[in-house]
Structure 1
């Protein structure tokens, strides 16, 4: 069961919701529903005696246009903002968006009517999916996606799956429902959790490469990392020591100095670990935040106009995570090159095993560098962009939406890179008939050895790469 109370939703809950293709078992807090109803009543009362943006005024540059706080005004806002374009948003992202938006509304700061919140809860629980387009946001509110969702709840737009009985839009519902980046947060959360999985899998893959290459253990020694104790670096070195069973003074490696792909792994992977942890911390706040503008405070019996729609924290955290993962992926590609080099393995070039001239795993470098190039493009910072729209009233944007999309692409590229390294490491260990009996990383090797084709002949490696990529989820738990 997923608890939905406006305070305790977890990133892992969003992933569960995104992966659920049927009804979702949610526990909606009764106390949170009552609090949301109090905020709705307060918002209606406040709009009778003071200016409330979006309720008694237009929106955007129309902020100075006085309007009636009416359901018809709200309906016009929803219809005019439901202009999403492009492909349909992926179903998993839509499910995550609906759950996040429900949770945020239950933080009880939106002033949205209980009937609309209840309809949204029913949509989440039944696994219903509105028709939502992917293009239409720049990190200052997922206006088009949420307008399309709201109109589905009111019966004006179709559902691509399921559906709920339509509810009538009430005064003040429109802007309160739209004031969120829930779709962007859903994609960012799914990418962040994928980053986390891949970072943990990278430890196991790098450890297998270390064994195949007879790495020098001094680079991972505790005294080394105690001398410069960045949290991610220390944790990464400790994980590799654990996987390699380096609990006492180990035997020297083949080389006094390993290539950077082995020797600098903790120093390069560490920043990625730290960046992903920070990103998850940011998202844990955002998915439980009251972001609606204006904010309705029942504690202070007032409304506050603000800029919580701006997601600079999300975009900068995503940009940092992608940049650090790109560096980690560069090291993975470097280790792949080492694994294909006879001077490092003592094996034939490209780990070939057929007649002279056999190509072995030669093509993996091309695949890995292609994936790395895509990751490099995805790592470019989205926060360098900006926008001035709505007649100059909205003169900055975080582009967190674009940063989240880039994170999805970066995760896919990183997975392909690690898959190529994993294939090479496993083949090298098979050819060397390495003895892993006393090493914890043996569990990772056995998982891979069972899943991957043992054939050494030259053949298309497409299926092998796909199997290795799928195997990374299991390796993350080793």
Structure 2
């Protein structure tokens, strides 16, 4: 696997997954380091001369409170009344106070709940590093080097599940900064502390990198699973002698939604040349309405990919440093309504297509549609066959239904009322990862049943990509028909889904 070059311009969801899950290495593009350096010099000069949110002021409801701007890691010396003093006016026993930025990091590293898995945390680090390479934050280039080193050594900060509400993953990034500083141990190893200017504290943590990273993982996985789902649908179609009239081009030209047309065309391609004699003049919805239900899920993922293409490469910083204009711009680009709404739409569409998959599984277990034994059993009368897979699939579908609840219907008022809206996209991203995991189980159960039905009927696909796909999975799934535990069958089928997606075309 080649290095993933982070230039702040062209990062994709698939690349985030390559780094986060597959251990791909990252490399900051020299242009990214140059942009970061220019922004850091600009904001340091402007902060020394005037007010910059988070550098010379407090944050949130404390935004109107001035703090001493310190561009070094040394402590601030305070007099008896709390005023900053230097030189001859310093008291004999001064109060030594750490810089505002350091105190900000410590106070915000307050997440709770279980620790996130390293994959999600690596996704967050990858996204934040790419955002910093886009310029605009003012964070010093040393921090980019530190994040690059941590990723390539497999180190992750101890990030807790709860803390973000879609307006900045503040606790997650604050504890990351403390790891870079050497105050909090890394998970998975250690590295030398990174020079970290306390004045950069807010600029580093003011990001939704955690939410965006988890959204990227969900998007990359779902794009793959939806392609695999089309192949599995075609296999199940053969096992039930479906009627392909529902997929004809003229039908979908009459109602030309993009995803609908795409799904119908892919099914036509997969089923081309297959010897199918339709058993019914009109199939149940689980076959007849596949383009109309699977298509919206496809469109929702395309929309999410488009949103992520912006979010992954945006210097969505507050304040935004503009070195060309020699200014900082206070703004609300940390608000992720676009991302939350795209994730909500994706999960709702996913539930619909998952429900259709569960319905097809039930038809595969019904003799009236396959001409085989109930539950595709092969033992003595009363054998259960794949009966339990219906329960498993509905259990996964039930979990997906809960995850599909729109998080954008919630909001929050925090920080003494001055931050009076939140999109909860952090929860949307987490729910999306969970929903994708449930969909993976649903597809795996349908695949197990479709392969068994085709084996029992002696009706393997002939020629073309569908035949190749069938051979691939049939060689890897157990061919035993006796009543036995099926958990390993489902696990094996789930592991085949990424490769199965490649046969979709």
> Tell me, which stretches of 5 or more residues in structure 2 are unaligned?
73-98
2:279 to 254, 263, 275: 254
Are the equivalent residues in 2 in contact too, given 1:111–1:172 (CA < 8 A)? no
- Look up the match of 2:145: 118
Paired with 2:464 and 2:57, the residues of 1 have a C-alpha distance of 67
Paired with 1:185 and 1:472, the residues of 2 have a C-alpha distance of 24
Computing the radius of gyration from Cα coordinates, the structure with the larger value is: 2
Q: Deviations over 1:76-121 (max 9, x none)?
A: 1101101111111210111111111111011110011222222222
- Look up the match of 2:32: 32
2:445 to 420, 435, 458: 420
> Tell me, which stretches of 5 or more residues in structure 1 are unaligned?
none
* 1:311-460 aligned within 5 A: 311-460=336-485
2:189 to 152, 162, 169: 162
1:265 to 277, 284, 290: 290
Paired with 2:442 and 2:21, the residues of 1 have a C-alpha distance of 24
The alpha-carbon deviation at position 435 of structure 1 amounts to 4.3
- Look up the match of 1:11: 13
Q: Residue 87 of structure 1: SS of its match in structure 2? A: strand
Q: Deviations over 1:26-58 (max 9, x none)?
A: 332212212211111110111133321101100
The alpha-carbon deviation at position 424 of structure 1 amounts to 1.0
1:305 to 327, 330, 349: 330
Paired with 2:261 and 2:167, the residues of 1 have a C-alpha distance of 37
1:214 to 219, 241, 244: 241
Paired with 1:353 and 1:134, the residues of 2 have a C-alpha distance of 46
Asked if residue 185 in structure 1 is aligned to residue 212 in structure 2, the reply is yes
Q: Residue 47 of structure 1: SS of its match in structure 2? A: helix
The alpha-carbon deviation at position 217 of structure 1 amounts to 0.9
Paired with 2:425 and 2:465, the residues of 1 have a C-alpha distance of 40
- Look up the match of 1:109: 136
Q: Deviations over 1:159-187 (max 9, x none)?
A: 11233321343252101001111111111
- Look up the match of 1:43: 43
Paired with 2:436 and 2:35, the residues of 1 have a C-alpha distance of 39
The verdict on how the C-alpha distance between 1:121 and 1:204 changes in structure 2, with shifts beyond 3 A counting, is same
- Look up the match of 2:226: 199
Following TM superposition, where does structure 1 have runs of at least 4 consecutive aligned residues deviating by more than 4 angstroms?
none
* 1:258-297 aligned within 5 A: 258-297=283-322
- Look up the match of 1:2: 4
- Look up the match of 1:63: 63
Are the equivalent residues in 1 in contact too, given 2:19–2:25 (CA < 8 A)? no
- Look up the match of 1:53: 53
Paired with 1:367 and 1:145, the residues of 2 have a C-alpha distance of 34
* 1:80-99 aligned within 5 A: 80-99=107-126
Q: Residue 113 of structure 2: SS of its match in structure 1? A: strand
Paired with 2:187 and 2:25, the residues of 1 have a C-alpha distance of 20
Are the equivalent residues in 2 in contact too, given 1:245–1:440 (CA < 8 A)? no
Larger CA deviation: 186-195 vs 44-53: 44-53
Are the equivalent residues in 1 in contact too, given 2:175–2:184 (CA < 8 A)? yes
